[in-house]
Structure 1
Amino acid sequence: MPLHVPPAPAPALRCVLAALGSPTAVSEARTPSLRTAQGPANPELPLPVHVLDHITPQATSPTRLAGWRFLIRCAERSVAAADTILTPDGWAFSHFFEGPYITSTERALRHAEAMPMPCQPRLLSVPELYMLTLWLHRDCTDDGAEGSLAATDLLVPLAPAPPGIAAHRPHRVAELLPMLNHRLTPAPLLSSPA
């Protein structure tokens, strides 16, 4: 499937490039692979990061744009990622990081490219479950910063996924949100016998 990667805001890209060019930002990052990388480090595959704060009883929910994530590639592999956030003064570099979500994101993107439908890749975070998914949005005309979850969009949980949710298995939004809603709904308290 052709992935329609939305262009990141130019200021977000500029702040990541500035951070990559700053010896202090790179040396203070908790990313040994970025500090020891040989050759130039390039930000690639910008993905908007949306947050799902809550799920409504109808198993739908609005999302909000939290930032843009760039995979940082050195030579032939991604060694880290850089997050940007929107501040009152505009886009700002947040931090570099590494870990399993980087390889998991790349794997999910490779599988998405092999699917038959065109889509726009995004990341969707569910903070209450410590969960990150690749969100394959069907409306490729959206700019990446807007748009809401559609029942036919696909969500691909990234590894590590919460217990009981298979990583890298695509789910339709209409299928996965009720499962997440169930996990987020507190169990009723049992009353003690009188």
Structure 2
Amino acid sequence: MPLHVPPAPAPALRSVLAALGSPTAVRDARTPALRSLSGPLTPELPLPVHVWDQIATGDRPPRTRLTGWRFLIRSGDLAVAAADTVLTPDGWTFSHFFEGPYLSSTERALRQAETMTAGYQPRLLSIPALYMLTLWLHGDPTSDTDTDGPAPSDVLIPLAPAPPGIAAHRPCTVADLLPVLTLRVRPAPAAPLLGQPA
């Protein structure tokens, strides 16, 4: 079933187009692919980027916050880089270009998601405490991108490289993956001080 890719805010797209049209921004980018290509570059597949700061707090569901939009930058049929935008007090603005393993991993996860039978709204979910990025397939394709935390039935596809013990590109529901994530980020119990009973 096709994914329901949400439209990016117009100022976010304009800021990426302006950066792509700026020889200085492209030349200063730390992305060899952008500096070496001479053909047209187009931003596609905008994905809202959410951050999951707290995995779980008691019985409350996990909460996320929208922090940006990521665009895949294509040269012909090839994704050569990505561009991130961030929300500032003045609105959406270009942040930076980048390449690396998450670029191809995102494309692979999107291809996986397109083979699923249910309709989803794709988002990216960053879990800083685990240095982890996932493709988050939100079960309500029509919801606002800046609302709705992960529902238990939403699907997460961990992107490569994934943290040890978590399989990259293996789709899991939030309900199945949440206990593993919670266990991973739970602080270790403090060691007793010398002279105190254990």
Length-normalised TM-score, structure 1? 0.96
8 A contact 1:59–1:181 mirrored in 2 = no
Query: Deviations along 1:137-165, whole A, 9 cap, x unmatched?
Result: 00011122222110000000000000110
Unaligned regions of 5+ residues in structure 2, if any?
none
Q: Which residue type is aligned with residue 179 of structure 1? A: V
In the other structure, the counterpart of 1:60 is 61
In the other structure, the counterpart of 1:90 is 91
Q: Distance in 1 between matches of 2:147 and 2:191?
A: 42
Q: Distance in 1 between matches of 2:60 and 2:80?
A: 36
In the other structure, the counterpart of 2:140 is 139
Q: Distance in 1 between matches of 2:130 and 2:58?
A: 17
Give the deviation of 1:86 after TM superposition: 0.4
Displaced runs of 4+ in structure 1, greater than 2 A? 57-60, 189-194
Give the deviation of 1:188 after TM superposition: 1.4
Mark the CA change 1:176 to 1:59 in structure 2 (over 3 Å): closer, same or farther: farther
In the other structure, the counterpart of 2:12 is 12
In the other structure, the counterpart of 1:127 is 128
8 A contact 1:44–1:70 mirrored in 2 = yes
Give the deviation of 1:57 after TM superposition: 2.7
Unaligned regions of 5+ residues in structure 1, if any?
none
Q: Distance in 1 between matches of 2:73 and 2:139?
A: 26
In the other structure, the counterpart of 1:183 is 184
- Indicate the RMSD between aligned Cα atoms, in angstroms: 1.3
8 A contact 1:138–1:152 mirrored in 2 = yes
Aligned length: 194
SS of residue matched to 2:24? helix
Asked if 1:81 is matched to 2:78, the reply is no
SS of residue matched to 1:44? strand
Query: Deviations along 1:119-153, whole A, 9 cap, x unmatched?
Result: 00000000111100000000011122222110000
Q: Distance in 1 between matches of 2:174 and 2:190?
A: 29
Q: Share of identical aligned residues, percent? A: 68
After TM superposition, the structure 1 stretch with the greater mean CA deviation from structure 2, 43-52 or 139-148, is 139-148
Length-normalised TM-score, structure 2? 0.94
Give the deviation of 1:60 after TM superposition: 2.6
Asked if 1:47 is matched to 2:34, the reply is no
Q: Distance in 2 between matches of 1:60 and 1:144?
A: 17
Give the deviation of 1:59 after TM superposition: 7.0
In the other structure, the counterpart of 1:172 is 173
SS of residue matched to 2:62? coil
